[in-house]
Amino acid sequence: MSDAAYNPPDTPLTVLHSDHAIIVVDKPAGLLSVPGKGEELADCLIARIQKVHPEALLVHRLDRDTSGVMVFALTRHAQRELSAQFEARRTKKAYRARLWGYLEPKEGRVDLPLIVDWPNRPRQHVDPVNGKPAQTDWKVLGHEGDGTTRVRLFPLTGRSHQLRVHMKETGHPILGDLLYADGAARDFPRLMLHAESLRFNHPETGRGMTFAAPCPFR
């Protein structure tokens, strides 16, 4: 979460797919995936889904200020199967982001271990000794005239705040990141990070499925 007051968007639920085992949705930026501590943080994506599907179960999360594709299970079996795929890194995730400055070269990998920064929670930081392995691939999509870069990011691991910390460590933080960006890089209407696509095997049929949500920013 950022240091901004919680004011979740009052927008209709965007369902990308649903069947007897799963529901896939496009999470809006500014909405928690799960409830936080306190009644003021009760409104969240899973609570909104459970109003329609009371049986919905959590599989993974996106940061509050990140938008994009999320899958929820509708049975315990589906939850176990999907959770195992995420844990074993059998899912494929792609994100869109805008970064401060001109990131070069055109593609590359960040390989820096991460761990929670306990005195400054929920911030994470790089720790070569105690951090858990974390890798992110990037591909530059274009450079903008305002001195920013459009990229597609491919997390190979799923650490908390991984993309945000890794981009900060390149010297090109994600625009609008109130936790990890400084100065003018913070001065944007939202965190410019979107979970563009997610691929996994259906927990019942085993069939590979890919779901995508259009990026809400350029």
Catalytic residue numbers read 63
Give the start-end residues of each E strand in the chain.
15-18, 22-27, 67-73, 92-100, 107-111, 114-116, 124-126, 135-143, 148-155, 193-201, 208-212
Name the nearest CA neighbour of 6 among 41, 39, 46: 41
Name the nearest CA neighbour of 193 among 91, 65, 92, 70: 65
Q: From the CB of residue 161, how many other CB atoms can be counted at a distance below 10 Å?
A: 21
Q: Which H or E element spans position 185?
A: none
